[in-house]
Amino acid sequence: MKMQLDNTAGAHRITGYGAGYVSVNDKSLTHSFILTPNTLITDWGPKSVDDLDEASLQVVARLSPAIVLLGTGVEQRFPPSPLLAPMLAQGIGVEVMTTAAACRTYNILVAEDRPVAAALLVP
């Protein structure tokens, strides 16, 4: 699906997504990554919800977002609650959704100038 780019000055935006890829600022990424309006981490290791661990989620938490959108691929899959507990204890909200839904939601929150991070699993 091609998405319209809203000119939010200097912010990383998701410009498209489909089977096996997500485009950030028109650059296609085919593996899991973390995105904030100011940061793009392309070497994030997890490939699926089963690969998530405390260390991989701590990378997201260190960015200090108010909310994390965890895109879990084609299907919404919740990680074990103890993995999310450290972020919740820090006051970081976590929303678990499909990667496609996380892409759409991320762009909306960036347009609203919200402190958001998207941790996207790209199957």
Task: Give domain status of residue 88, yes or no.
Answer: yes
The CATH number for 84's domain is 3.40.1230.10
Task: Give domain status of residue 6, yes or no.
Answer: no
Expressed as residue numbers, the domain containing 40 is 31-120
Query: What does the alpha-carbon distance between residue 98 and residue 44 come to, in Å, rounded to a whole number?
Result: 17
Task: Give domain status of residue 12, yes or no.
Answer: no
Nearest to 92 by CA among 62, 121, 72, 113: 62
Q: Where is 118: in which H helix or E strand?
A: strand 116-120
pLDDT at position 10 is 78
Instruction: Kindly report each contact of residues 40-44 with a partner whose C-beta sits within 8 Å and lies 24 or more positions away, as own/partner.
Output: 40/12, 44/119
pLDDT, mean of residues 7-33: 90
Its pTM stands at 0.90
pLDDT, mean of residues 90-119: 96
Give the count of domains, the chain: 1
Task: Give domain status of residue 50, yes or no.
Answer: yes
Residue 22 DSSP SS3: strand
Q: What is the pLDDT of residues 34-93, one digit of tens each?
A: 999 999 999 999 999 999 999 999 999 999 999 999 999 999 999 999 999 999 999 999
The answer to whether residues 42 and 31 touch, using CB atoms and an 8 Å cutoff, is: yes
- On the question of pLDDT at 1 being above 90, the answer is no
| Average pLDDT taken over every residue of the chain | 92
Task: Give domain status of residue 78, yes or no.
Answer: yes
pLDDT band at 123 (very low <50, low <70, confident <90, very high): confident
Tokens of 78: 């919740």
